[in-house]
Structure 1
Amino acid sequence: MKVSQILNNNVAIVSRGKNEVIVYAKGLAFRKKVGQTIKETEIEKTYVLDSNDMLEHFSYLLANSDPNHITLVNQIIEFGEKQLTEKSNDYLSLTLLDHIEFALKRAAKGQFIRSPLTWEVKKFYPQHFDIGLYALNLINQQFNLHFPEDEAVSIALHFVNLQEDKNNLDSTIRSMESLRDILSIIQYHFQIKLDEKSMNYMRLMTHLQYFIQRVQTDKIYDESDLVLNTQIKMLYTDAYDCIQKIKVYIQEKYECVISIDEETYLMLHIHRVTNRSKKES
């Protein structure tokens, strides 16, 4: 592969067929000149990008990155691939490097960002969160820092993004936020702390996950069983009052009106989980 551009002693842009790719290895480009050849055996990492804008952006990033940071990212990626049993792509390596470089600059100023998704990522993406914790331990040890767990969440989301396309990731994050908010509405309304280890809580969580998915895809249940709905409302008035708050929330967030059947099923699940929690408190 012929050298098109030398970015520093460790990074160069080379021609591979009709495309240009970024190659990296410590000392790779030392004493090399444009037009000379770099062998595959000399390269530690190749970054293949699908646009000139990305090539330019990440060329600058790699040219100005500490080699130790690149090695760190490679360690994290290797661990993540083993955890998820899935190969990563070059964008993950580069966006993660970009993230860590910026995080280290923030840390130097004592700036640590709080993540609003810590609970959700721990709950729904435990493997990804473990990757984030692994990365966090490496960073804290190597740079003698004390990043909070929130940074592990931010790193974990890079790996979630690996397995989801952009639209799916946005939808997943929005879904997690909605689940958190609805659980907060229920706990606030009944003034209780739900038992996250109980079977009824697990059933509620499963129902809410699919409920939010149906809301997002506009595929809500709508068979309009008015008789059953009326009976449940009369039996479980507290659950019905709580549902009215959830309905307002869903209307404002998704511009969607909960159907009679969705209301009925939610009342049943909410009554079951809150009734048990009240008895145990």
Structure 2
Amino acid sequence: MKVSQILNNNVAVVKRGENEVIVYARGLAFRKKVGQVITEDEIEKTYVLDSTDLLEHFSYLLSHSDELHITIVNEIIAYGEEKLGEKANDYLSLTLLDHIGFALKRAAKGQFIRSPLTWEVKKFYPEHFAIGLYALDLINQQFQVEFPEDEAVSIALHFVNLQEGKNNLEETIHSMESLRDIISIIQYHFQLTIDEHSMNYMRLMTHLQYFIQRILTKNIYDESDAILNEQIKALYPDAYECVQKIRVYIREKYACELTTDEETYLMLHIHRITNRA
């Protein structure tokens, strides 16, 4: 591979086949010049971006980033990959480097952002939250800052987005907000606090996660078992009333109607968790 451009002391753009990639190696600029060959053994990390715009953006970001920022991002991603058992794409390096750089600038001014999703991420994505806490500990130690737990949530969401294979973070956030809202509707309707450590709670959460995903993908489950639905309504009228509130919520948020079978399964899950509670 030939060096096309030196971005800073440790980062360069190189030609690999027909494409250009970004490589990281400590002291690279002192050892290489444009046009010289660099081998795989000399490279510590390679970043492959899938568009020219991303390559240019990442090139600019890396050339203006502190070496310690890059090292910390690499360490966080390595930890996250091990924790989740999944290889991260190089776009994650770009978004995390950008995020951490901006967060540190905010911290220098004493500006710390509160996350509205702290509860959701802790409950629904504990492994991803653990990655965020790991990252937060690294950053706080290295830069002598004291980020609040909310910053761990923001970092965790980058890994949630990675693992769920979504094109943007907005869908992930909407899903978590909907889970929170539906649980709130159930607790408010029955005037109780659900035991979040119970097996029935876990079953309900799993059902709701797939339920919301089906709504988002327009893959609604409906075999129209009207007889079973009528039986469940008669047996569990409180659960039925609660589901009607969820129906209104889904209609207003997603412009979507609950099917007969979705209603039936929700009644069953809600009765189980509230009856046991």
| C-alpha separation in 1, matches of 2:21 and 2:143 | 30
- Secondary structure at the aligned position of 1:113 is classed as coil
List alignment gaps of at least 5 residues for structure 2: none
Distance 1:260 1:87, change over 3 A: closer
Residue 124 of structure 1 deviates from its aligned partner by: 3.0
Aligned to 2:105: 105
- Structure 1 outlier segments of 4+, above 6 Å: none
Aligned to 1:143: 143
Deviation digits for residues 57-88 of structure 1, max 9, x if unmatched? 11110111000111111111221222123332
Tell me the TM-score normalized by structure 1: 0.88
State the identity %: 77
**Cα deviation, residue 31, structure 1:** 6.3
Structure 1 residue matching 2:177: 3-state secondary structure? helix
Give CA deviations for 1:31-58 in whole Å, capped at 9, x if unaligned: 6432233343332222222222111111
What is the RMSD computed on CA atoms of the aligned residues? 2.3
Say whether residues 1:8 and 2:8 are aligned partners: yes
With over 3 angstroms needed to count, the CA separation of the structure-2 counterparts of 1:181 and 1:29, relative to structure 1, is same
Residues 217-272 of structure 1: per-residue CA shift (max 9 Å, x gap): 332334142x5444544443332322221111010112111123332332232233
> Tell me, what secondary structure is at the counterpart of 2:28?
coil
Q: What does residue 219 of structure 1 align with?
A: 220
- Contact (CA 8 Å) 2:113, 2:151: kept in 1 or not? yes
Aligned pair in 2 of structure 1 residues 249, 8: CA closer, same or farther (>3 Å)?
same
- Indicate the SS of the match to 2:29: coil
1:166 Cα deviation (Å)?
Answer: 2.5
Distance 1:236 1:158, change over 3 A: same
Contact residue 222 and residue 262 of structure 1 kept, 8 A: no
Pick closer, same or farther for the CA change 1:249–1:118 going to 2, 3 Å: same
* C-alpha contact (below 8 Å) 1:220/1:258 kept by paired residues: no
Distance 1:9 1:195, change over 3 A: same
* Alpha-carbon distance in 2 for matches of 1:261, 1:52: 47
Shift of 1:140: 0.9
Counterpart in the other structure of 2:119: 119
Aligned in 2, Cα 1:204/1:84: closer, same or farther, shift over 3 Å? closer
Shift, 1:121, TM fit: 2.5
- The TM-score, its normalising length taken from structure 2, stands at 0.89
Equivalent-residue separation in structure 1 for 2:239 and 2:107 (angstroms): 46
Which residue pairs with 1:236 in the alignment?
Answer: 236
- In the TM superposition, what is the alpha-carbon distance from 1:157 to its structure 2 partner? 2.1
- Cα deviation code 1:182-240 (max 9, x no counterpart): 00111122222111122332332233233323333332334142x54445444433323
Quickly say closer, same or farther: Cα 1:19–1:178, change in 2 above 3 A: same
Any conservation in 1 of the 2:239–2:270 contact (CA below 8 Å)? yes
Matches within 5 A, 1:1-281: 1-30=1-30, 32-167=32-167, 170-216=170-216, 217-225=218-226, 227-277=227-277
- The Cα of 1:8 is off from its aligned counterpart by 1.8
Question: Residue 138 of structure 1: CA displacement?
Answer: 0.4
Question: Aligned partners of 1:166, 1:203: CA distance in 2, in Å?
Answer: 24
Q: Which stretch shifts more, 257-266 or 76-85?
A: 257-266
1:126-155 Cα shifts (integer Å, max 9, x gaps): 222211111111011111112122221221
CA contact (8 A) 1:224 1:259 kept: no
Q: 1:48 to 1:265 in 2, by over 3 A?
A: closer
Query: What 5-or-longer segments of structure 1 have no aligned partner?
Result: none
Letter in 2 for 1:66: D
